[in-house]
Amino acid sequence: MTRRKFTSKFKTKVVLEALKERHSLAELAQKYQIHPTQISGWKRDFLSGAETVFEKSKTDKRSEAEKKNDQLLKIIGELKVENDFLKDALR
């Protein structure tokens, strides 16, 4: 028997429904044909990582700045090599 793999979209749907507490974990487990412990685990993981949702935009900006910085350093290096080559060619 193979293990079932669930998409993050499905997990989020189940967790959000569990957080609403309109149905018990047992009812949700029966509805989605998964074990109640699985829902509890997804819920715990979701809540522990929820704070990173709002920090993501800061890290994206930082990573964009790092990418731009790396690109500029690469261009500077290429120009330095080209400049040195041209200096040697004139001698």
- CATH class of the 1-54 domain in this structure: mainly alpha
User: What would the pLDDT profile of 49-91 be if each residue is shown by its tens digit?
Assistant: 888 877 766 656 667 888 899 999 999 999 999 999 999 988 8
Tokens 């967790």, located at residue: 15
Please state the pTM of the whole predicted model: 0.59
Domain range annotation of the chain: 1-54, 61-90
User: What would the pLDDT profile of 10-32 be if each residue is shown by its tens digit?
Assistant: 999 999 999 999 999 999 999 99
**CA 60, CA 18: separation in Å to the nearest integer?**
30
